[in-house]
Amino acid sequence: MPRAILYHGFGIRGYQHLWTQFKEGCIYFHLVRSTNRCSFCHSFKVTQKGFKVRTLRTLPIGKKRVFVVIRMRRFYCEQCGRRRFEDLLIAERRKHYTRALERYVRDLCLVMTILDVAQHTGLHWATVKAIDRRRLKKNLPSASDLRRLRYLGIDEVSLKKRHRYLTTVVDLRTGRVVYVGEGRGERSLAPFFKKLHRLEVPLKAVTLDMWRPYVRALRARFPQTALVYDAFHILADYSRMLDALRTQEYNNLTGPMRKIIKGTRFLLLRGQEKLSIPAKEKLQKLLQINRNLFIAYVLKEELRRLWRFETGEEAERFFFDWIRKAMNSGIRKLMKFATRLLRHAEGILNYFRYPISTAMVEGINNKIKAVKRKAYGYRDVEYFKLKIYNLHLSGYSSRE
């Protein structure tokens, strides 16, 4: 067999082909090193003192498994006086597969599950996982990557049932996941911010929801970094409050009034511009008969306008005017929500200094959920976290 085929087809160099064997549906290439050299001092003044045989898996040919049988000779070196076996050029020590096959498996793992790759290549499931784990570990964020961080987005994603979460931190400039912590408490973020503080990273702004443990973890190390509370989460909180108010009003009424409120959840929560004409008429009828829902709905539509202002001064006037209206409404749930927003006023209005949001983080969380569904879940949490760190390299979204 020509050396060109060994090199270009199987990534094998420095060996010459002895013969080919076909056995039990597999192909065996018998090879030997092209030169006689000492593996320690590289002298050519050597004498062979026996050999051993190593059989390694390499790239398949179609569906046929291919092995290379290496005759590793043992030389006595006249120059350095050592007796050593030849170096194995095409595989790592104590591995039963070549580097070419390892690269092939790594490429397949970008788009396939471990089980799919194992079935395709004929390798053991654990072998494929070990190869993929080594690939994933090479792409973890380095200290130099972390020093370039300026704007971060933080959110959680569900890991398993019973409220088990992972906290993800995303670089908003590159879309790369730079940290994954278990849980959604202060401890899940504390090691990350401690590391950034040690590296003296000049963070400018961080966007997140109004979850206190995240805020405490950030403030412990970066008290001067601007907090930007995400608009989507604020409006989602308001929607939950509005739905709870609708349920309360329904329970307080009797007779035909209850029938009008029943089934109006999505009419109240959906944006007015997305409603059809019949839906608008039904919503109008509901708001005419219930003062509390009318006030809460109107204030919901007004709150959506907050992030459309062009200047921070206009937004600030509008925000505090909205708070005043909510506090004067006399609706307990609405007043409680307004009080919460007032406590976080600085973080809400910081959006007009740093117009960032967790939209990119939510998109990445959707990819994480897709990866988890594709593998029917991960028992090995550390391996799953490595997968998340490498999402920016996988090209997953472009293939689904």
What tens digit of pLDDT does each residue of 319-337 get? 999 999 999 999 999 999 9
Q: Where are the domains of the chain?
A: 3-90, 143-230+357-399, 231-352
pLDDT at 400: 34
Mapped onto helix, strand or coil, the DSSP state of residue 347 is helix
Residue 396 predicted with pLDDT over 70: no
Give yes or no for a contact between 365 and 338, defined as CB atoms under 8 angstroms apart. no
Mapped onto helix, strand or coil, the DSSP state of residue 85 is strand
- In the structure encoding, which two tokens stand for residue 19, read together? 């013969």
Q: Per residue in 163-186, pLDDT tens?
A: 789 999 999 999 999 999 999 999
What percentage of the chain exceeds 70 in pLDDT? 97
Other CB atoms within 10 A of residue 302 CB: 14
Task: Calculate ∠ Cα 127-28-87, nearest 5°.
Answer: 70
Which amino acid does the sequence have at 193?
A: F
Residue 61 predicted with pLDDT over 80: yes
Q: Per residue in 85-115, pLDDT tens?
A: 998 889 988 899 999 999 999 999 888 888 8
237 class by beta-carbon count within 10 Å (0-12 exposed, 13-18 middle, 19+ buried): middle
What's the farthest any 2 CA atoms get from each other in the chain?
106
Question: CA–CA separation, 272 vs 291, rounded Å?
Answer: 18
Mapped onto helix, strand or coil, the DSSP state of residue 173 is coil
Helix (H) or strand (E) holding 154: strand 151-160
pLDDT at 399: 35
Closest by Cα among 397, 392, 398, 395 to 177: 392
Closest by Cα among 204, 224, 214 to 179: 214
Q: Per residue in 243-260, pLDDT tens?
A: 999 999 888 877 777 777
Q: Per residue in 187-240, pLDDT tens?
A: 999 999 999 999 999 999 999 999 999 999 999 999 999 999 999 999 999 999
pLDDT at 18: 92
Mapped onto helix, strand or coil, the DSSP state of residue 126 is helix
- In the structure encoding, which two tokens stand for residue 392, read together? 């920016």
Give the CATH number of domain 143-230+357-399. Answer: 3.30.420.10
